[in-house]
Amino acid sequence: QKEVEQDPGPLSVPEGAIVSLNCTYSNSAFQYFMWYRQYSRKGPELLMYTYSSGNKEDGRFTAQVDKSSKYISLFIRDSQPSDSATYLCAMSGDMRFGAGTRLTVKP
């Protein structure tokens, strides 16, 4: 079993839709939870990070952590074609990444 599980998709949605991306993890020692966005042929860039259970909002993006269920989510509101990318969850102490979900937002 992988430490971090993430559905690789692909996920295709129409512009304006609410997108939900999810990861589960098995290691309860993970303390920090991050979401990275990776455009094609580029390196990942940090989008958001959270520490405690609950929600953290940044513009159209909301990160949610449920430590009791070992489940994290990223919500994108009013999705735009420019949001089309691969989204990777990551967990720390040790940096462990999910497989990444490829998202396409169609105009």
Partner 1 sequence: GAGVSQSPSNKVTEKGKDVELRCDPISGHTALYWYRQSLGQGLEFLIYFQGNSAPDKSGLPSDRFSAERTGGSVSTLTIQRTQQEDSAVYLCASRPGTGVVDTQYFGPGTRLTVL
User: Please, is 93 exposed, middle or buried when counting C-beta atoms within 10 Å of its C-beta (0-12, 13-18, 19+)?
Assistant: exposed
- The nearer residue to partner 1, 2 or 77, going by C-beta atoms, is 2
Cα distance between residue 12 and residue 3, in whole Å:
26
Tell which positions 65-94 bind partner 1, by CB under 8 A: 88, 90, 92-94
At closest approach, how far in Å is the CB of 82 from partner 1? 19
Cα distance between residue 31 and residue 95, in whole Å:
10
Q: Does 12 bind partner 1 (CB under 8 A)?
A: no
Q: Does 51 bind partner 1 (CB under 8 A)?
A: yes
Cα distance between residue 50 and residue 65, in whole Å:
7
Q: Which residues bind partner 1 (CB under 8 A)?
A: 4, 6, 8, 31-32, 41-46, 49, 51, 88, 90, 92-100
